[in-house]
Every structure is written in C-alpha cells, then in structure tokens.
Amino acid sequence: MNIGFLGLGKLGLPVALATESKGHKVFGYDISEKTINNIKNRIIDYREIWVEDYLPKTNLEILNIEQLVSKSDIIFIPIQTPHDEKYEGVTRIPSERSDFDYTYLIRGVKNLSDEIEKQKQDKVVIIISTVLPGTITRDIKPLLGNHTKLVYNPFFIAMGSTMKDFLHPEFVLFGRDDDKALKIGKEFYKTISNAPIYDTTIENAELIKVAYNTLISTKISFANTLMEMCYHLPNTDVDEVTNALKMANNRLISGAYMSGGMGDGGGCHPRDNIAMSYLSKKFNISHNWFENIMVQREKQTEWMADIIIEKSNGMQVNILGKTFKAETNLTLGSPAILLKNLLEEKGIKVNQWDPYVDGDYVKYKKLYEWNTKPQTFFIATKHDFFTKIKFLKESLVIDPWRFIPSTNNDYKLLQIGKNTI
C-alpha cells in the first residue's frame, strides 16, 4: 500500500519507518522546515531505538500536501494535542484544569480534508492523536468532506521505543465511523502484526486511550505508595512485595509498571491525568480519581526531596538523570526535573546531570568536584550508566530504583523501599 503521514515528528517519523519496513511505500508532509531538513540529512535529534538504523536507508518521500493526497491510499494524522507547559508534570500542579489543545489537529485535518475534496477521490484518513471523549464528533467530523473516510486509531506506544511498539502491539484499537475505511485499516494492520484488533465506537476508543495511560499512572502511584510504606516498616522490601503481586497476573492484569521508583512522566501520562481530572470536574464525577493520582505523584516526589535534605547533612546535592525514563534523552514530563524544582523551592542548591542529555561525564565530574568532595547523589533515572560510576568514599547515594550494586561500596547507599536487616 501507499501510506502517507501528515506530520513527521517524534511519532510520525518512527511509524513511517516501521511501515516502510513492512514493505509499504511511505510519503510524508510536515510544516516544520527543521524536521524536513533533518530527515533529508538523515539526522535524528532524539533517542528512538531502531530509528537510527532505519533512517539512513529510508526511501521516505517528502511531499507537499497536494502530492500526499494524490499518492496515498491511507493517510495517518499523528499530530500532537499538547497541553500548556504548566501541565507537563515538572512543576507543582496548577489549580486549574483544562482539555487538550486541539488547534494543530483541527488545522491539519481541515487542510487535509479540503485537499481531498479538491481532488474528488475517496481517501482513508486515520487519526491517531490522543483526544478526550467526544472530541472527534464535536470538533473533527464537522470539518470533513464527503470524500474523507475517517477511522480513529490511537496508538499505545512509549516514546523511545515507538517503532518497536508499533510493530509489536498488544492490540490494535479502532474507533469506527466509515465501514469501508475500517475494513481498509484492518487490512493494512494485518501486514504489520498478528495482534488482535478491537473495533468500537469512536467515543469508546477515545476513552480507552486515555484510560490506558491513566491506568498505568495508577499502577505506578500504587507501587510507589508501597515503596514509601516499606521505607517506614521494618524488615520490608518493596521489590519482594511487588514481585509477589506480579505473579497474580489473572486478577491483577499484569506486572508491568508494578515496581517502586520515581513517578510517571513523558508526553502523555501527566497531561492525560490532568485532562481526565478536567473531565471529571466537568461531569461532577463522584470521586476524581485522576486528581488523586497527580497529587500522589507530586507529594511522593516532595517526600523524596525531604529525604534528600534530611540525609544529606549539608552535603552538595546532585540529581543523576533528567529524562522521564531510562535510556532516552526525552525530558518531557520528567519527575526528575520536578524533583529538582521542588528542592530548589526549598532553598537547596542542586546539580543535575544526565548522560543522554548533557553527555561528557568527565567534564561534569570535574566541574562538580565529584572526585574530590563527598556529596549526595540521587538516582532519578534508571540509566545503566549510573551503575558504573565510582562514587567517592563517604558520599551518599540514594537509589529509589534499588538497582545500584550494594556490595563492596565505600560510600553510603540508601535504597528507598528496602528496609531489611
């Protein structure tokens, strides 16, 4: 098939490359000159496994929107629906709540549909953007002409492993609007994987997408609460507790995300919880669960800040890690940055370094005097690099992930959630 992408950013480009890897011809359009030039020059300025391997050999054609419509059998719309930066989860939760910003999505859909109508040829358009329930019917469908055949197909991927997650999904979700378009969409996905396909109403699909993300947040918040309990309870170990819970994979769904550590982050989870909190308030839902998830995330991060202050005894504080998860350079919504902001709010001077964001370990080790002065190090991101650092004698290492080796250390190691004798 000939597959087009209206948008070649951090979601669109990896999915285009994944689609091409399955034998499809791929085309792309983007309004950003920087994005287009980076693709033409085979440059990627963010960490995505597999993209570095596939980008140099791609035959992806960059087209204008008229050519994109003319050449494509299916056109994906991977346009972002951002929140205001204050909802990213790197600062304290603002008091107000709001829906996502659909400005870019609405503009992109309208421009695409107008061009499809000009060419008077039916085209299957697949929107993959995250939206709150009711948005497609309220804001998107009125923009579509008769030749624009819509399918809603939100993705369940994690930034940093987009290609892998697209090619090996747990399931494929469709919100149906046009039966013929749905059939074509299903035929396309059968060329991608053998994953089960679930089709439902558009409104159900919209809700399933945000429910999926916020359920992950719920599991992370719950595991982190257990970690905090184990910090206080003698002879307890959060990993042993959560490892047992993971074995109950019939009644508790799965063990994924059921380990104590930092709060969730990235471009989806904090903002999706804020948006669902907004929806709960709008409908006066009896209990705003999503509000509690965000409050727990902030309060738990502040609790870690207080542990750092208490245990450091005046030593210089260093946060190791800036990214929202391990082995990526993406910092959007990172709890590591929230932690730094909360510490600075409390008057603590903080150094922060990340191998994938800042690089040059030798330079920063010298700059921050890590080899000459005992200091406090908080492991905010679970990068494997941090297990190889030789911390100075009498330094304090605080590890909420409990993955720094605990044997033969001259430094003090505090593994949060492991309170065993």
Q: Which residues contact 26 (CB under 8 A, 6 or more apart)?
A: 3, 4, 5, 16, 17, 19, 20, 58, 59, 60, 61
Report pLDDT for 421: 52
Write 294-300 long-range contacts (CB < 8 A, 24+). 294/89, 294/93, 294/270, 295/93, 296/221, 296/224, 296/225, 297/89, 297/217, 297/221, 297/263, 297/264, 297/270, 297/335, 298/92, 298/93, 298/263, 298/338, 300/221, 300/224, 300/225, 300/228, 300/263
- Please report which helix (H) or strand (E) contains residue 295, including its range: helix 289-312
Token digits of residue 267: 């471009």
DSSP codes, 187-212: HHHHTT----EEEEEHHHHHHHHHHH
Domain 233-419 belongs to what architecture?
A: 3-Layer(aba) Sandwich (3.40)
Question: 3, 74 in Cβ contact below 8 A?
Answer: yes
Integer Cα distance of 220 and 261 in angstroms? 8
Integer Cα distance of 130 and 164 in angstroms? 19
The backbone torsions φ and ψ at residue 154, rounded to the nearest 5 degrees and listed phi first, read: -65, 145
- Whether pTM exceeds 0.75: yes
Q: What is the pLDDT along the chain (421 residues), one digit of tens a residue?
A: 999 999 999 999 999 999 999 999 999 999 999 999 999 999 988 888 899 899 999 999 999 999 999 999 999 999 988 877 777 788 898 888 888 899 999 999 999 999 999 999 999 999 999 999 999 999 999 999 999 999 999 999 988 899 999 999 999 999 999 999 999 999 999 999 999 999 999 999 999 999 999 999 999 989 989 999 999 999 999 999 999 999 988 887 888 888 999 988 887 778 888 888 888 888 898 888 888 888 999 999 999 999 999 999 999 999 999 999 999 999 999 999 999 999 999 999 999 999 999 999 999 999 999 999 999 999 999 999 999 999 999 999 999 999 999 876 789 999 999 986 5
Paired residues of 200 in beta bridges: 175
Classify the phi-psi angles of 412: left when phi > 0, otherwise alpha if psi is within -120 to 50, otherwise beta. beta
DSSP codes, 207-261: HHHHHHHHHHHHHHHHHHHHHHHHHHSTTEEHHHHHHHHHT-TTTS--STT-S-S
Q: Which residues contact 91 (CB under 8 A, 6 or more apart)?
A: 338, 341
Q: Name the one residue in this structure whose structure tokens are 């800042």.
A: 358
Tell me the one-letter amino acid at 160: G
CATH 3.40.50.720 segments of the chain: 2-211, 233-419
Say which CATH class 2-211 falls into. Answer: alpha beta
